[in-house]
């Protein structure tokens, strides 16, 4: 019996990938530098930072403006192939990510991956994990609008609802490292934890901020979901557990 997930206000955790689970941003930045320079342009650190967390379509357009004389699709494919090569040499795991994934798995809390990277890279990362932690994988090539639009997160919630119609955004927590990602998660209505990595994020009452995932626990995520659900959420859960309206 998976009682922790059944009675907990936390039913699912929605994970960003690049910068949250794996530190692939240096791979992306190196690929951008190489591509722009191959087309006779220059690419600064500041320009690279502006693309962190953005959709690949958006990023490809910026690279075109920087002098890359390729179609959007060609740019995306070239960058993705370079990053996959880097990942195959070494998967740069972020501190605490695999440990928290494993604890969530043991607790019976469902997980979905919500990334602007495309399927080939996401599958590479998922295959590198020791267990099938992710029930669903939402990638940049499966949504019409990338982060900071909330479509990817709303899609993940809808997929999770397929086997649990009672699941709502109130039962989910998103983990993100970038400004576009945090904006997407917050806009979806899901409780959001920001774990800034390469780019600093300002404090914002609309999300929780952690310095790292290292040492973080399922109970802390449960507390965030419980705070979101509040007394009304507790009453609804009691009602469901008892099979009728809660007293009070």
Same domain, 15 and 102: yes
Q: What pLDDT is recorded for position 139? A: 97
| 89, 111, 144 - which closes a domain | 89
For residue 237, give every residue at least 6 positions away whose Cβ sits within 8 Å of its Cβ, in sequence order, or none: 7, 9, 229
For residue 205, give every residue at least 6 positions away whose Cβ sits within 8 Å of its Cβ, in sequence order, or none: none
CATH code, domain with 179: 3.40.50.1000
Q: What pLDDT is recorded for position 93? A: 97
CA distances from 98 to 61, 103, 141, 174, 214 (A): 33, 9, 25, 16, 9
Query: What is the block-wise mean pLDDT of the chain (248 residues), using blocks of 10 residues?
Result: 60 96 93 94 90 88 94 96 96 97 97 96 96 97 95 98 96 96 96 93 92 97 89 44 43
Same domain, 122 and 174: yes
| 52, 70, 89 - which closes a domain | 89
- Residue 76 inside a domain? The answer is yes
Same domain, 206 and 155: yes
| 89, 111, 129 - which closes a domain | 89
Q: Which residue range(s) make up the domain with 194?
A: 3-23+93-242
- Residue 248 inside a domain? The answer is no
- Residue 125 inside a domain? The answer is yes
- Residue 247 inside a domain? The answer is no
Task: Judge if pTM exceeds 0.85.
Answer: no
Give the max Cα distance, the chain.
71
């Amino acid at each position: 019996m998976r009682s922790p997930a059944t009675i907990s206000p936390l039913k699912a955790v929605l994970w960003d990938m690049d910068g949250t689970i794996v530190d692939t941003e240096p791979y992306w930045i190196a690929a951008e530098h190489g591509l722009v320079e191959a087309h006779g342009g220059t690419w600064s650190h500041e320009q690279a930072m502006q693309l962190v967390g953005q959709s690949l379509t958006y990023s490809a357009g910026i690279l075109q403006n920087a002098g890359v004389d390729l179609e959007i699709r060609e740019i995306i494919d070239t960058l993705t192939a370079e990053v996959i090569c880097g990942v195959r040499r070494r998967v740069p795991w972020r501190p605490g990510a695999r440990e928290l994934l494993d604890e969530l798995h043991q607790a019976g809390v469902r997980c979905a991956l919500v990334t602007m990277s495309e399927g080939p890279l996401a599958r590479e990362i998922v295959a590198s994990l020791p267990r099938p932690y992710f029930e669903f994988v939402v990638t940049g090539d499966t949504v019409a609008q990338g982060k900071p639009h909330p479509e990817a997160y709303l899609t993940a919630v809808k997929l999770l609802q397929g086997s649990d119609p009672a699941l709502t955004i109130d039962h989910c927590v998103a983990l993100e490292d970038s400004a576009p990602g945090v904006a997407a998660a917050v806009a979806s209505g899901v409780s959001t934890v920001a774990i800034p990595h390469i780019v600093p994020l300002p404090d914002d009452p609309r999300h929780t901020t952690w310095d790292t995932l290292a040492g973080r626990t399922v109970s802390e995520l449960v507390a965030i979901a419980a705070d979101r659900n509040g007394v009304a959420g507790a009453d609804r859960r009691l009602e469901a557990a008892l099979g009728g309206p809660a007293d009070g």
